[in-house]
Amino acid sequence: MNVVELYGPVQHHWFYNQQVDSKDSWQPFSREDSQRLEDAYSRVGKCEKDEVVVATDGRRYDVRLRERKRYSVYWEQKPAEVRRCSWFHRSIKSMTYNPYSEELCDILEVAYMTAVTLGKWKQHLKLPKGKTVILHNPKLMLQYPSSCKVFPRSPTERTKPRSLKRGIENTSVEIPEGEPEMVDHLVFMVHGIGPAREGRLRRGIVQCVNDFRITSNHLLKSHFSHSEDLCVTGRVEYLPVSWHNVLHGESTGVDKDIERISLPSISRLRQFSNGTVLDLFFYNSVTYCQAIMDTVASEINRLHSLFLQRHPHFTGHASLVGHSLGSLILFDLLTNQETDADSKPHEMYIKLHEDAHVDPGCGSYESLEELLKGHGLEEHLNVLHREQVDMESLMLCSEKDLKDVGIPLGPRKKIMNCVKKWKDSRTGSGNAAQNEMHSPSLGTRNFHEQKTPTTSAVDYQHFDVGIGQVSIDYPQLAFHPQALFAMGSPIGMFLTVRGVKRIHPNYGLPTCKSFYNIFHPFDPVAYRIEPMILPQDVDLQPLLLPHHKGRKRMRLELKGLTRVKSDLLGSLRMVRKNISPVPSPVIAEGGISSMTPADEAEVPPTEKKERNLKVGMLNRGRRIDHVLQEKTIESFNEYLFAIQSHLCYWESEDAALLVLREIYG
């Protein structure tokens, strides 16, 4: 065989430089993106003067070929260097292969072609900076350190050469999978307090969303492969929405103001709290809440418009995901959206206790005679007159007092109920007073003229700024979201602090029909929503999200054994039911369950009843609260994993699967 036939052109692959802890980390493009870049490179040639732009990474980045730079499309990010690579070297202290520059790749390729075609192996090839490469044979190619190098720490580092590989197929570089071109759904993800602290307290919101996107793509392949084969399923695009930089930027100057009044002690702890916890207080400020809300809404609308420009054939819907404080921001934003039939912004009227439950005539009674006659109880008037009871003294009477004077049970209950309503009508101050209490101009009022603060039960039929939302102008979104997913959300706590006692079962977000509250059982920031909708005598546990691989984690399965120790002598049916409880499905109606028909048959009747229980209209009657399954190691110490549990959602397969099932359900 002719020696010349042994040589063949090398397969190039494209890389980009990603900074990790201020160090270079070369990452490969997917095979599809690399092929697109190579095709564009071949078409334009090296003499092309005009810049050529190639969209990569699901059209989230643009690569400018002549400039050799990779630019982000949707968010601010420093441009990354791009290389067309064919030769790689392994670093001394790790097993990873890094690409050479394009110039060195060309030099090495010429030397390799010469060695193969002419059989001249073991030639010394001098590289820039004094390094030497020796091509011993096609399987053994080494780079030796420079002779003028500073003396290393050990003889091993001085003498050990680096291994060279030609072509990416001969290296251990892991090439990421490409993404489908078709986008079925668009999801905007809003961060909580301090995005620099999101994701293991180090990574930013962009990396957190990237992790969630990767998890979602893997689940699409594993759980929706049948639909993919039928060309039904494309992918879901996730875009980050950041508001923290605007709030803490130069335009507001708030960081400088806070820094001037901060104490010099425990500086690191104060810096952490100023960059995170203070966001909660900023959100309750009229000035900064308006800035936060405007930033979130305008950023979502900007990303939505830009996405449609880059995906002109997109026909799907969009949803919203909020983490921590971000979920509260989205909830407040959606409660103030206009519907198509509205001529003005959607108003959320608060119903105080006296408005929703009080007899309109109770507050107008001025005498005992009017009150009793108005409710058909005038026959007991003589008894009360005999005891010298008037309206004022009746307000001080207890049910036992009325029983002692001889009033029967039925009339006694009616009188006490009417007294309670009469008291509420006298102590309540209506919507105007409630709004006045939350007015941004509170500081200009005379404190001596204020009345004693009172609390009233609130019926959450509709909302208004009177429930504690800061009185600002809420912007409108350019679309109607399909669903809102709250992860690690304090919405329930904020509503309670605002004075909301109950969410009316008929209430739903004006432009968003689905709402899910997802939380880890150890998350210290998360609160439930369903107890605010259901009657107080209904004790409904949150739905347990099934593991993405099916059923429960082993620890939760074994936990059922402790509940049946006392029933070991009972029937086999009861033992089996307690040992193998099956988690409820993610979506009660119209969703996809990971349980088999045999598993469904084992679900206890009480669990089936809870699964199908209608919980208001906030999620179209379906369950709202969904709890993740804690890992075995997390169960050893709840406090140790509390902070981590608040950040686990970005990498949670179970949470991502719930989002996908709502989208594709």
Q: Which residues are catalytic?
A: 324
Q: Which parts of 311-364 fold into alpha helices (H)?
A: 325-335, 353-357
CB 87 within 8 A of CB 164: yes
Q: Could you write out the DSSP letters of every residue in 445-484?
A: S-GGGPPPP----EEETS--GGGS---------SS--SEE
Q: Give me the sign of the Cα torsion angle 226, 228, 230, 235.
A: positive
Structure tokens at 41: 């490179």
Please name the amino acid found at residue 605.
P
Give backbone dihedrals phi and psi of 339, rounded to 5 degrees, phi first: -95, 170
Q: How far, CA to CA in Å, does 42 sit from each of 7, 38, 70, 661?
A: 21, 6, 18, 42
Cβ 552 vs Cβ 629: under 8 Å: yes
Strands 483-487 and 514-519, bridge-based pairing: parallel
Q: What does the alpha-carbon distance between residue 556 and residue 451 come to, in Å, rounded to a whole number? A: 53
Cα–Cα dist 87/335, whole Å: 57
- Please give, one letter per residue, the 3-state secondary structure of 529-574: CHHHCCCCCCCCCCEECCCCCCCCCHHHHHHHHHHCHHHCCCCHHH
Alpha helices in 195-311 (DSSP H): 205-223, 225-229, 244-247, 254-261, 267-275, 278-283, 286-310
Q: Give 50's DSSP letter.
A: S
**CB-neighbour burial class of residue 229 (10 A; exposed 0-12, middle 13-18, buried 19+):** exposed
